[in-house]
A and B are shown apart, each in its own frame.
Chain A
Amino acid sequence: MSDINANVLATEAAETIEDLAESASGLFNDVDRDRVVRYGSYLAMALVFVSLVGMAVGLDGRQILFWINPDVYVNHPDGQGLSLGDVALWMWPLLLGWAATNEVVLEGMQARVRGVSDLVTGFLVGALGGLGISFLTFLMSVDREINPENGVPAYGARDPLVNWNEQLYIMLTFNRGWTFALWAWPLLAGLLAMVGASFRVMSDPIRKAITAALISVLSVSVFQFLVDDLLEGVGETIADPGRISNFFESDPSLGRPRVDSAFDPLIDFLYAKTGGLRLEGVILVAVVAAALSLVASYLVRGRVKQARQAYFDRPLAERTRSSALLMVGVALALLIVPFFTGSIINELLANVGIFLLLALGLNIVVGLAGILDLGYVAFFAVGGYTTAVLTSAGRGESWPSWVPLLVDEGEPVVGGWLIALVLVMVFAGLTGLLIGAPVIRMRGDYLAIVTLGFGEIIRLLFLSDWLKGYFGGAQGITNIEGADFGPIGTVTGVEPRSVFYLVAVFAAIAIYVSWRLERSRLGRAWMAIREDESVAEAMGINTVNMKLMAFVVGAVLASFAGAIFSAKVGSIFPTSFLILVSIIILVVVIVGGMGNIMGVIAGSLVLIGVLGGPKQPGLLQEFSEYKLLIYGVLLVWMMLQRPEGLVPNVRRSRELHQEEFLQDAWLKGEVDTDDEGDDVATEVAPA
């Protein structure tokens, strides 16, 4: 009896296993193995790289959200939530799981039905990537030796690999030893990648809702400082409207009695005292974002597209007018923001403004005229030093007495900065001519290299012992007075809000200048030069003069930024004008969208505001160590995926995507075909 039973059971079991294997092999047959291996290796490389570069451990100190609230369980033994370091690791499986299941759907072809095989692909990619970390922890455990005397572990490979240390080991093994990591990482990464891949399987509104929730939670937690600051400022104003009246007198964040903000309960609900979103905050933000997104997808569905189409069907003049209106609206909104934010955010905005001013100037040179200037910082330096020499009692002693010093017994002269500004413009223009005249005859790469050299020459001149009596050498010039505008107030670095408004005025001037020049005879000539320099010359454009003019206009705009910079910081040194500044401004222009003013604004907000300038901290201060790494990665990625920038210039993206553009135009019937004489005369515009 029992034998037969056992036999039946055995056969049944065997059959079940066979069935399972069959369906499993069916699943695996749908999976593109090459793709899994490729993306899995990308993932492994990314994870190991992020770990070894120190990002994971370095950012681990910043808790961004909790799933076990710290005010309930103090020092919970397990990880209480997610740190920025965790996010730096966990985002990769999510992203690559999503990327690995991407499929290009060609026009007129049926898209494959998404299903379980996508999830399997995602999981396999993640698991393969996770093995990268497993292997890393295994290697670390082999190298790990515990000092028998004090029990402190030491690592042999620590010497070349700075971040090969106990902290990384603990983080990657969840403090449970490498055998745990061996299976935990492939599983965790696999699941995450599967989640990433599942975005392909979901229906549209659900995917949007989940994405909205994810992004909102991430940004509300990562940008806690900004949200906190804004809510507090607005809340305090609601609680005490009288605050508005004395805004111009002093910075409310300095020595002002703190008013209980109307939003204090909300802030306490969202964020933990130690920083980071509380669990309830996470749920609140996610639910609100998802709900809004769902409402939007069901109510708005299709209408955005319609509105967009309707907008583009309008005549060009009308569109220009409405985008100008939009720009004014955004500008006004930006002008109000500093009223509600504390000095740190205002400082950040002031930095964004200075770099925006620089980027707008470079945009004329690179974006409009197509001159790749890698030494742009030179004009920033000339502006800064000229202002310093004219408005600092601490300038070098070698200056003859007829060089005016616009300082009155340790106090800035009213309007002195404006007088200095006129001279700054003159000197920057002259420097532009002086550098430009020999350089501008060159084209392309040669020009880029020579400008690079000139940028360094200017900095080295300011640094040199030879001119130490004038510019102070490495000690620079200190005690630069702020810009005193008499009754309106004084702009100094102590009050970032005032700097912000000064910068805003000049950014507005720069935007106006770029906007006018682009639509003039000069702008057309620059465009023609960018398109084909020899033909432009043959069509009667004096290319040397025109390029020189772009160079000088750019130089003057950069010198404005320099003048504001030195009034703001109060002291300048040659190290403020490293070649890195040129490169970062160029990256801002490229990432934002070359040749487009809105793009440049977006670029400086995103890069300088969030990541920070060459020396200026951004919103993500934790990232300052990896700022250049991120800049570089971003630049490479942009060049590969979206060379026209975040907010592209129509013309520029046409240049870069000529073929796609022509295909689109052909589909819309806008490309004309070679005609057959007379019937063209009756040709009318396509409706």
Chain B
Amino acid sequence: MSERILDIQNLSVTFGGLHALKDLNFHVDEGEIVGVIGPNGAGKTTFFNMISGMVTPTSGDILFEGESLIGLDPNQVTQRGISRTFQNVRLFANMTILENVMVSQHCRTKQGVWGALFNTPAFKKEEAEIRAHAEKVLGFFGTRLIGYRLEQPASVLSYANRRRLEIARAMATSPRLLLLDEPVAGMNPKESAELTGLIGKLRSEWGFTIVMIEHDMNVVRDVSDRVVCLDHGETLAQGSFDEVSNDPEVIEAYLGRPLEKQK
């Protein structure tokens, strides 16, 4: 078994009296693609928010490469090497496509006021590197986000391209672990099939470990090594796609309980 990149131990969070997550135990190995599924309100996005530092857990621990992430700000988590996309696409809509990807390299670069004011060689070099990296990342999606599109504001993009740009923006932070929140939501079957292929490439070509929340079972089946099913903040099942999809509890959570069993 390869090295554990993310290890979540007894993680719980309560909002008021509501248990959004209850005693979650979960781990991701280096180079794995893990799919997180579950009905609406199961706590999947809260789970992501907690890893990326936007929500502080009530108890439990999150270990990333052996170090705890508890108490870190979101930007520090990103600095450590975890990056994410958002379920309801949250691009910087009025910045250009290039700028969206350039700005997310912020934590990997360091030029400050001085360099900017005097346009020092180091500043120019870094700007050129940022731009080159941005274009490389955008080039991952073919011709869709490059060329004349670079200088266009993100708001003119189609829905599918916005999703792609969000992934590009997350990729540009040079993470080790990528959290994708419903990457193919709203895409047509052809587009989601294409993106499924790209998610595979994210691992094979870019070396990212990926955790993905997804409702589209075809995508989950095609790409995940392992699947976790959450419901009401609890883990219902873990394992391969076939195991999880045939688990009676999972089926029950999605489809409801047969009438005769309800007593």
Segment at the B interface, from A161-169, A201-209, A529-537:
A529-537
> For residues 615 through 657 of chain A, which have their beta carbon under 8 Å from a beta carbon of chain B?
651, 654-655
Q: How large is the interface on A (under 10, 10 to 19, 20 to 34, 35 or more residues)?
A: 35 or more
Chain A residues positioned under 8 Å from B52 (CB to CB): 538
When chains A and B are docked, how far (Å) is the Cα of A534 from the Cα of B74? 9
Q: Determine which of B103, B117, B187 lies in contact with A541 in the assembled complex, contact meaning CB atoms within 8 Å.
A: B103
Whether A257 is near chain B, meaning CB under 8 Å from some CB there, is: no
Chain B residues positioned under 8 Å from A291 (CB to CB): none
Q: Would you give the shortest CB distance from B258 to chain A, in whole angstroms?
A: 39
When chains A and B are docked, how far (Å) is the Cα of A419 from the Cα of B84? 49
Given A521-B111, A531-B94, A670-B156: A538 and B106 within 8 A (CB)? Answer: no
Given A516-B119, A521-B116: A539 and B106 within 8 A (CB)? Answer: yes
Whether B245 is near chain A, meaning CB under 8 Å from some CB there, is: no
Whether B126 is near chain A, meaning CB under 8 Å from some CB there, is: yes
Whether A542 is near chain B, meaning CB under 8 Å from some CB there, is: yes
Asked if B103 contacts A528 (CB within 8 A), the reply is yes
Whether A74 is near chain B, meaning CB under 8 Å from some CB there, is: no
Given A539-B106, A674-B188, A683-B143: A528 and B95 within 8 A (CB)? Answer: yes
**Chain B: CB-nearest residue to A518:** B116
Q: Would you give the shortest CB distance from B28 to chain A, in whole angstroms?
A: 19
Given A527-B95, A680-B142: A542 and B156 within 8 A (CB)? Answer: no
Whether A188 is near chain B, meaning CB under 8 Å from some CB there, is: no
Whether B194 is near chain A, meaning CB under 8 Å from some CB there, is: yes
Q: Determine which of A523, A538, A542 lies in contact with B54 in the assembled complex, contact meaning CB atoms within 8 Å.
A: A538
Q: Would you give the shortest CB distance from A318 to chain B, in whole angstroms?
A: 13
Whether B191 is near chain A, meaning CB under 8 Å from some CB there, is: yes
Asked if B155 contacts A525 (CB within 8 A), the reply is no
When chains A and B are docked, how far (Å) is the Cα of A584 from the Cα of B113? 28
**Chain B: CB-nearest residue to A653:** B94
**Chain A: CB-nearest residue to B106:** A541
Q: Determine which of A522, A528, A532, A658 lies in contact with B155 in the assembled complex, contact meaning CB atoms within 8 Å.
A: A658
Whether A113 is near chain B, meaning CB under 8 Å from some CB there, is: no
Asked if B95 contacts A541 (CB within 8 A), the reply is no
When chains A and B are docked, how far (Å) is the Cα of A398 from the Cα of B145? 65
Whether A254 is near chain B, meaning CB under 8 Å from some CB there, is: no
Chain B residues positioned under 8 Å from A532 (CB to CB): 90, 92
Asked if B143 contacts A517 (CB within 8 A), the reply is no
**Chain A: CB-nearest residue to B152:** A670
Asked if B152 contacts A662 (CB within 8 A), the reply is no
Whether A108 is near chain B, meaning CB under 8 Å from some CB there, is: no
When chains A and B are docked, how far (Å) is the Cα of A681 from the Cα of B99? 23
Q: Would you give the shortest CB distance from A437 to chain B, in whole angstroms?
A: 16
> Which of A524, A525, A532: most chain B CB closer than 10 A?
A524
Asked if A521 contacts B99 (CB within 8 A), the reply is no
Asked if A662 contacts B190 (CB within 8 A), the reply is no
Q: Would you give the shortest CB distance from A363 to chain B, in whole angstroms?
A: 16
> For residues 182 through 197 of chain B, which have their beta carbon under 8 Å from a beta carbon of chain A?
187-188, 190-191, 194
Chain B residues positioned under 8 Å from A676 (CB to CB): 188, 190
When chains A and B are docked, how far (Å) is the Cα of A406 from the Cα of B133? 52
Whether B218 is near chain A, meaning CB under 8 Å from some CB there, is: no
Q: Determine which of A512, A531, A540, A658 lies in contact with B104 in the assembled complex, contact meaning CB atoms within 8 Å.
A: A540
A–B complex contacts, Cβ < 8 Å, 5 sampled: A524-B95, A524-B102, A538-B74, A539-B104, A539-B170
Chain B residues close to A by CB (< 8 Å): 52-54, 73-75, 78-79, 83-84, 86, 90, 92-95, 99, 102-104, 106-109, 111-113, 115-117, 119, 123, 126-127, 130, 142-144, 147-148, 151-153, 155-161, 169-170, 173, 187-188, 190-191, 194
Q: A516-B119, A680-B144 are in contact. List 7 more A-B contacts (CB 8 A).
A: A520-B127, A525-B103, A540-B107, A654-B94, A665-B156, A672-B161, A675-B161
